[in-house]
Chains A and B, each alone.
Chain A
């Protein structure tokens, strides 16, 4: 559905996207992950043929986004960052306008507007003025707009940003329900979100793709650095001595917690699970153990992990 090859976009004096290539198959939900300024929004703007690429080619449904811009735009539903809407319009009126813009006939647009309002839970607010709606509803209006002409490809730039947990859940559910029928490309910087929704993730950093794989595979890739955190009631010297003899431990860091407890951050070698060993150690020495967790990876860890080889090469 999407084929991006060697995409580069330079703004005056700054390269926002640098030689990016990836592809998305029909019916997939793909997440574009990365911190702010990684080039996600720029990539999406080029995909929706709002901006031209400096070099490289992007094809959507077989059409080049630069040369067959109209054909591409006909096939996509795009919700940009911050979800811009016309605040003075009413919900139904806005969706109707957008449907007409997207070339739907009067009757068809009425049908589709009713359908997407139902789908996005907007029926109750159909006559309200958009400017007076809550952020969650506005986000849903943006989604409904992206869906209204039944596009083959839906591009959503940070669809859950600024929503409360309930709203995030309902938006995620909605996006998930689109799988199969539509191809969806979403951008986010929340890893658990991407894990939940996406069948594949593309991680961008500083204009480049660091990794592109299924969430499971990426998790495996990351496990090498997953930390185990333990809070143990023992002296620092004792802990240091014990940890330096523990097999399978690559790195450890002991810092004081409240009372007699020490907080130990332990990094295993080869991604093995340290928790049984720590528990056994505490039992053996008769230490008090009040916390033992294996941290899940935040996106930050992934960046650190994936960017590490480069840093080492440089130093």
Chain B
């Protein structure tokens, strides 16, 4: 635990001590504000019945942020350590591979959640200036953030995996971007093809990230969706761990 907390602190510090961290936070803030502007323009023209959190997400800015920011956050985790050689100093101490992977992932998800905090300000502005206080209760905001957390986990674990398999940060970012976009495209497919009893369509519906996010934004937490995200995250973290271990395979 002592080692884990030391690793976590160092990885978090790396985000907050470097300019990249602040650039990421600033970009996320700009994009959420943009979506906020789009949303307010829409509100001004016609009335909506859906909660504001759901509207927020429906502008697609959300997915743009997830797809772009996750690779940028995770690209340096392993790739930078490998290219600068610090991976060698790190792995020749008594740390276990699991501790390293867990600490890096935890640092990434914490940073990611911090980057989403400015959205709370946007929501409170909506609450202050509109009559839509009903759509902004703790449940919908909590659901929204849980959704952000779970999608974040999935996309960041993808990014961890991409970073672990490459030595170059650029390559890591590109691989995780491609993986992320593939996953994202699957949800388009899932939306296009109606859900039937066949197992193929059942499986595909699991990848319907849009519909799942819709639910979260409405404050509906579906156990199946949660299980899907958690399992997929653990799957990619497991792959990352295997990649890190593979260095010592004979």
Contacts and interface: CB of A to CB of B under 8 A. Distances in A.
Interface in A96-150: 97-98, 100-103, 105, 145
Nearest to B249: A52
A74 B88 CA distance: 15
Interface in A27-69: 45, 48-52, 54, 66, 69
Contact of A73 (B2, B85, B94): B94
Contact of B94 (A74, A81, A88): A74
B23 to A, nearest CB: 15
A103 B2 contact: yes
Interface string B172-206: 00000000000000000000000000000000000
A154 to B, nearest CB: 12
A70 B94 contact: yes
Q: Which of B5, B88, B92, B95 has the most CB of A within 10 A?
A: B92
A249 interface: no
A309 to B, nearest CB: 34
Among A49, A79, A88, A145, max chain B CB count under 10 A is at A88
Interface string B29-68: 0000000000000000000000000000000000000000
Interface in B88-120: 88-96
Kindly state the interface size class of chain B when it binds its partner: 20 to 34
Contact of B89 (A49, A52, A84, A88): A84
Contact of B3 (A69, A76, A81, A100): A100
Interface in B1-32: 2-3, 5-7, 9-10, 13-14, 17-18
B130 interface: no
Contacts of B85: 80-82, 84
B93 A51 contact: no
Contact of B250 (A54, A76, A88, A100): A54
A50 B93 contact: no
Nearest to A71: B94
A81 B96 CA distance: 22
B247 interface: yes
A89 interface: yes
A78 B92 CA distance: 7
A226 B84 CA distance: 42
B248 interface: yes
A50 B91 contact: yes
Given A70-B94, A88-B17, A98-B93, A80 B10 contact: no
B133 interface: no
A86 B94 contact: no
B94 A84 contact: no
B86 interface: yes
A76 B95 CA distance: 13
A190 interface: no
A105 B5 CA distance: 12
Given A54-B250, A74-B94, A84 B10 contact: no
Nearest to B250: A52
Contacts of A89: 10, 13, 17
Contacts of B91: 50
Contacts of A234: none
B94 A80 contact: no
B88 A50 contact: yes
A97 B13 CA distance: 11
Given A51-B247, A52-B249, A86-B14, A100 B6 contact: yes
A274 B250 CA distance: 54
Nearest to B248: A52
A218 interface: no
Nearest to B7: A101
Contact of A101 (B13, B14, B95, B250): B95
Instruction: Specify which of B3, B6, B84, B248 lies most central, judged by the most chain A CB atoms within 10 Å of its CB.
Output: B6
Given A80-B85, A82-B85, A103-B94, A69 B2 contact: no
A84 B89 CA distance: 7
A216 to B, nearest CB: 33
A139 to B, nearest CB: 13
A155 to B, nearest CB: 9
Contacts of B17: 88-89
A57 to B, nearest CB: 12
8 contacts: A48-B92, A52-B249, A73-B94, A76-B92, A81-B85, A97-B9, A101-B3, A102-B93
Given A52-B250, A80-B88, A103-B3, 4 more contacts: A79-B89, A84-B86, A86-B14, A89-B17
